[in-house]
Chain A
C-alpha cells in the first residue's frame, strides 16, 4: 500500500473528511494500516506508538492516532487525540471541523460549537455558520444566534434565508434598530424578503420618522409582482401614523399600476376616510392611463362609485369608443348613473354608451322606455334579453325597486343594497389574495404556512 492509499483509507475509516495534507513515508504507519485492514488493531496500535516515538507532536501523529482510537471505539481517547490534533494544527480548518464532529457525536455541544467557531474564524463557511446558529437557537441562546447571523451576513457567507431568520429573532427581541438593519439587509434580496417583511420595514421606517427612506423604498417596490398590494399596505401605514400628505404622495406614485392595484390603493385611502385624497389619486391615475384595459375600466367605475363620484368615471370614459367599453363596466356605470341621477342619468348615457348598455341591460332599457310611456319597446327590451341571468326579471325588478327606493335615502345605502362591493383582495385576508410568503420559504417549516397547509394532509 502506498502513502496515498493510506491517507484515503484513514479518511474512509473516520467517516470525516479531514483534508490535512499528510506526507507519509513507508514506515510504521503503513504497517499499521495493513494491520487495521486485517483486523489486527493491536498490531496497528503498536506501530502507531512506534510512529509516535519519532514525532509525537506532529499533526500527522495525532491524526493517525485519532483514527486508531475511532476504529477501536475508544471515544474518550479519540477526543483527546482530536483535541491534540486541533491544538497542533490551530491553523487547520479541517482539524477543527473533525474535532467538532466528534464533540457533536459525544453531545458536547458547546465545545463543538467552539471548535466550529475556531474553524469559521479561519475560513468562514455557510454550512458551518448555519450549524452554529441552529445549535445556538436550540440551546436558547438567541442573542448569540442573532450575532452570528449578523456576522455571517456581513461576511457574505450567509444568504437571504438567514437574513429572514435574523428578522424573526430580532422581531421577538424588540430591538428595533437591529431589526431595521436586518430588514434592510433582507430588502436587498427581493426574491426572499416577501411582502410582509417589506411592510414591516416600511412600518419601522415610518415609526422612526425616516419618511424619505420609506418613500424611496416603497417606490422601488412598485415593479414587484405584489407592488400594488405593498403600496396599499404602505399607504395604510402612513395613514395610521396620520401622515396624510405622504400617503397621498405615495399613492399618486402608483400611476403605472393597473386597476386592480388602484382598487387596493384607493381602497386604503377610502377606508381611512381620506375621500378627497382618494378622489385626487383616482383622477390622477385615470388621467394618466389610457383606460383601454377592461380591468382598468371596471376598477375606475367601481372606485368612482365607492367615492360617490360616478361622474368621474363617466367623464373619463365618455371619450372612449362605446364599442371599446367593457360590458360590465358600462353596465355598472349605467347602474350608478341610474341610482344617482335616476332616469336622467340613464338618459344622459343615451346616444353614446347608453345605447349599448341599455340594450345589454333590459331592465334599464325597459325602465327607460316606460318612463317615456312607450311600453312596446319596453316589452321588447325585456323579451329581447339575451341571457337567462338578465332575464331573471323578478330578481332584477326587486333589486331595481329596492334600489330606487333606497336612492331617495342617499346613494350609499342603495349602492350597498344593490351591488355587493367588489371583493377587494385585502392584504392578509385570504390565502389566495395575499402574496404567497410561503412560496420561497425553505422546507424548514413544512406544512405550517396557510397556503401550503391546505395542500397537505
Chain B
C-alpha cells in the first residue's frame, strides 16, 4: 500500500541486526540506525547467561507463540531512550560483569526487536515460532488506517484453486485407471475438476508436455482441450520448459546449461530422483501403450530437479517461456485467446525480466510463498507474505502451500495434503491471514491417496461460505494491495486510489467503529468479524468495483440504532458491482461460481418481502421472493449459473411481492 507521509512522520521498525556489527567498525552506523527508533547502543555484545534475569517483559508483546528463553549467548547492549520504552529487558547481576540490554523497544518513532527476541528456532524438530507478537508490535507504532485486504471479497473469505501441470502425462496407478493407462491429467479432470463446477480452478500447462519431442501425444492436448472447455476452468501457463532454478536464466548461457546437464548425467555425481523421473517413466509407459513414436531424447528431459529446467532440448528463450507458453495454453481454450495467468515453476523465484515479460504479455503472475500453519509448523513464520518485489516488478505469492510440502517432496505419505485443512483453518481463525487456496499439481491425480486428499479439500471448500474467484483475479487483487493509495480527506475519511482489483478494506480493532454511508462513495457494504480469542473485532468494508475512486468514511458509532437509507451488502458468494439504488429498490451486476448466496440489509422503510430478479441480456433467468427480517436482513440464493455476469434487481417496494 502506498501512503503519502512527510519524512519526519516515517516510522522505523528494526528487526534483527541494525545493519552492521555493533561491536566493530559499523558501530557508529548501527548506532545511528538504532537512534532513529530511540534506541541507544551502549556497547557491543555482552554475554547473558542463565544467571541473567529478565526484569521487564511486556505481556502484550512478548511470549506470543513461544516464550522468550535466555540462551547463553551474546546480545548487543542497547537501551531504550525516552519516549521509547523497553518491552523486554535483561539484566546481569552487578559486579564484574554487570550488563543490561533492551531486546525489544517500542515508541512513537519506531520499534526495535533483536533477532533473539523475534523468533525462536528449535532445530531438533525444525520448528520456529514468534516470540514477539508482530500484530501488537505494529499496531503500537503505525496509525490505525483502513488496510487493503487480499483475503476477503464481499465479506467472505476468498477461495481460489490452482494446478501446476507437472506430471500431466504420468500414468495413474490406481484401479480403474492404471489398467486403461489413463494419464494423470485425465484422472484430474474426471475426479477433481468436472465434479466441482461451483469451484473455479486455474490449470497451468507446461508447454513442453504437449510436444511430441518431449513425449507429448495427441492425448495430452486432447485432455487439455477437455479441461479448458469447462466454464469453471481458467487457462494458465506453467511456462514452456519448466525452469527449476530461475536465477540460472537471468544471465543465460547455453554452454553452461549443457555443462551442468553433463555434470548431472555423470553417474559419479549421483542422482537425486524426484517427481520428474517419475513423470518421465510414466510418460514412457503412456507412449508404449498409445503406440506413439517415442522420439524422446532422454538427455534433454531432466532426470534431476537440480537441473536448471525440466525440458532442455532447445536453448532457453524467455519469450517462449512466457508469451509463447501463454499463447500455447490459450490456443487449446474456448476462444483461442492467450492465457492470462502464469504460474511460476521450480523455485518460483523469477527474475525481474521474467515478471516484466508476464506483465507485458497481459498476464497476472502467481506462485512461490505459500503457507503452512499446523501442529507440525505451529507458527505464522511459515505464512508467507502477499508477494515479493523483484526489481521494479512484483511477484504474487500463492496463499497456501502445495502438496509437495505435505508429502515430503512427493515421497509420501501421499495423503499428506489432507493436512492442508489445518492451515486453512488456522489462517482463518482467530484472524484471517490468507485466502483459502487449494494448490496442487497434475501428478496428485496419479495416486489414489493424493487424489482423494485433494478431493477431500475440495469438499471442505464446498462446506464453507467463500467467495470463489479464479487465480488470476486473486493475483490482481493482491497486486492492488501494493498499488492502492489511501488519501486522507479528513478525520476518518479516505479516498482510495489505484486499487486495481482489490475491493476490500479492513479496519482492525473496530469495536465502536462503523461505516458512514452518507459520507462514503462507492461502498457496497460491510461485514463485522467478531472478536475472537485475543484478536479484536474487525470490520471488512466492500467497495464497488465499478467505482474508480471510492471514498470510505467511518463513523464513531458501530451500530446505529436505525437502518441505513440504502441497501447495504453484508456478504455475497458472487462478485457484486455497479450497485444502483433508489429508495427500496436496487440493481447491480453479479458474477461468480456456484449458487449466488448473498445477504443484504434492506433500507429502512422496505417491505417485509422483496422480489429478486436475475437477467442476462433481455432474458429473465430467475425470479423469486425473499423475506426481509425485522433487522432488515435479506438473505437470498440465486440458483443460476453466473460465471457470465447477470443483472440482479431487488425490489423491496413492489406491492405484489409483499
Interface residues of chain A, those whose CB is within 8 Å of chain B, are 14-15, 38-43, 70-75, 78, 102, 104-109, 130-131, 133-135, 137-140, 142, 164, 167-172, 179, 183, 194, 196-197, 199-200, 203-204, 232-233, 236-237, 239-240, 268, 271-272, 426-431, 434, 437-438, 442-451, 453-454
Contact = CB atoms under 8 A, between A and B. Distances in A.
A108 B23 contact: no
Nearest to A204: B51
A448 B452 contact: no
B50 A167 contact: yes
Given A131-B124, A135-B125, A427-B97, A104 B72 contact: no
A142 B127 contact: no
A73 B415 contact: yes
Given A73-B415, A73-B450, A140 B66 contact: yes
Given A240-B95, A430-B44, 5 more contacts: A15-B411, A104-B376, A137-B125, A169-B69, A171-B70
A15 B124 contact: no
Tell me whether chain A's interface is mostly helix, strand or loop, or mixed.
helix
Interface in B55-82: 66-76
B138 interface: no
10 contacts: A15-B412, A39-B177, A71-B449, A105-B416, A135-B127, A172-B67, A236-B96, A426-B96, A431-B44, A445-B123
Contacts of B451: 73
A203 B449 CA distance: 58
A75 B452 CA distance: 10
The 5 closest A-B pairs by CB, nearest first: A73-B449, A444-B123, A39-B178, A236-B96, A450-B74
A204 B49 CA distance: 12
Contact of B452 (A74, A431, A451, A453): A74
A261 to B, nearest CB: 15
Given A134-B127, A171-B50, A450 B23 contact: yes
B24 interface: yes
B296 to A, nearest CB: 23
B130 to A, nearest CB: 12
A294 B541 CA distance: 78
B66 A448 contact: no
B96 A41 contact: no
Interface in B364-378: 374-376, 378
B47 A434 contact: yes
B122 interface: yes
A239 B175 CA distance: 79
Contacts, number: 206
B595 interface: no
Interface string B396-427: 00000000000000011111101100100000
B281 interface: no
Nearest to B115: A448
B122 A134 contact: yes
Contact of B375 (A102, A107, A194): A107
Given A204-B51, A431-B23, A454-B24, A138 B129 contact: yes
B387 to A, nearest CB: 23
B69 A171 contact: yes
A305 B45 CA distance: 29
Contacts of B450: 73
**Max count, chain A CB within 10 A of own CB: residue among B24, B68, B124, B127:** B124
A203 B97 CA distance: 12
Contact of A444 (B68, B92, B115, B121): B121
Contacts of A14: 412-413
A131 B448 CA distance: 30
Contacts of A131: 124-125
Contact of A73 (B54, B66, B414): B414
A168 B93 contact: no
Contacts of B378: 138-139
Given A196-B49, A240-B95, A437-B72, A71 B448 contact: yes
A108 B374 CA distance: 10
B46 A41 contact: no
B508 to A, nearest CB: 25
Interface in B634-657: none
Interface in B10-33: 17, 21, 23-24
B570 interface: no
Contact of A200 (B49, B68, B411): B49
A186 to B, nearest CB: 10
A428 B178 contact: no
B94 interface: yes
Given A15-B411, A73-B447, A73-B448, A443 B72 contact: no
Contacts of A239: 95-96
Contact of B96 (A38, A71, A233, A444): A233
Given A438-B73, A450-B73, A429 B376 contact: no
Contact of B50 (A179, A237, A449, A453): A179
B452 A40 contact: no
Given A73-B451, A272-B96, A130 B175 contact: no
Interface string B160-186: 000000000000011101110000000
Nearest to A197: B72
B175 A39 contact: yes
B17 to A, nearest CB: 6
Contacts of B73: 437-438, 445, 448-450
Interface string B112-125: 00011000011111
Contacts of B452: 72-74
A236 B122 contact: no
A131 to B, nearest CB: 6
Nearest to B96: A236
A197 B50 contact: yes
B115 to A, nearest CB: 6
B453 interface: yes
Contacts of A70: 413, 415, 449
Contacts of B50: 167-168, 170-171, 179, 183, 196-197, 200
Contact of B72 (A106, A108, A196, A204): A196
Given A139-B378, A437-B47, A168 B71 contact: yes
A453 B20 CA distance: 10
Contact of B125 (A134, A232, A237): A134
A434 B70 contact: no
A138 B382 CA distance: 14
A237 B95 contact: yes
Given A73-B451, A106-B418, A40 B413 contact: no
Contact of B418 (A75, A232, A447): A75
A142 B67 contact: yes
**Max count, chain A CB within 10 A of own CB: residue among B23, B24, B374, B419:** B23
Contacts of B121: 444-446
A239 B96 CA distance: 9
Nearest to B453: A73
A148 to B, nearest CB: 12
B175 A42 contact: yes
A137 B376 contact: no
B21 A454 contact: yes
B446 to A, nearest CB: 11
B99 interface: yes
A137 B122 contact: yes
Contacts of B412: 14-15
Given A40-B178, A41-B448, A172-B67, A453 B17 contact: yes
B520 interface: no
Given A131-B125, A445-B121, A233 B69 contact: no
B380 to A, nearest CB: 13
A194 B116 CA distance: 19
A138 B122 contact: yes
A39 B446 CA distance: 11
**Max count, chain A CB within 10 A of own CB: residue among B49, B116, B179:** B49
Nearest to A453: B17
Nearest to A135: B125
B320 interface: no
A38 B171 CA distance: 12
